Amino acid sequence: MTHQDSKYSDVGYMSKAEGILRGVVGMTMIEAMLVIPSLSETTLVVLVSISIYIVMSAIMRWDPLYALLDMFGRQTSPATIAVTRLPEPHSKAEVEHKKAA
């Protein structure tokens, strides 16, 4: 689903368990709005927006807001120092053999 060469290929993707949890929470919010008829229109609009976002991110198994925050955090974080291994030292026999050749 993601491009392998992409710098941010794994940003924002959630596990299967988190997707299921989000789906359950979003559907519970939707059902709560249907059961409680005394909510004001403003509260209803806010809860509908939040629950649709939660359910859609659960279906996609990707959270765009988390991805945006994670990309912003990666760009502003200090660069990490890459540690590379030095080549293994050669044995004395190999060095002498190369000198003789």
Per-residue pLDDT of the chain (101 residues; tens, 9 = 90+): 444 445 555 556 788 888 899 999 999 998 888 888 888 889 888 999 999 999 998 988 888 887 777 777 666 655 555 556 666 666 666 667 667 76
Instruction: Report d(CA 33, CA 54) in Å as an integer.
Output: 15
φ and ψ of 62, to 5 deg = -150, 135
Is 0.85 topped by the overall pTM? no
Q: What ranges do the domains of the chain cover?
A: 16-100
pLDDT of residue 70: 74
The answer to whether 54 touches 18, Cβ cutoff 8 Å, is no
With both helix axes pointing from N to C terminus, report the angle between 41-60 and 16-35 in degrees, rounded to the nearest 10: 160
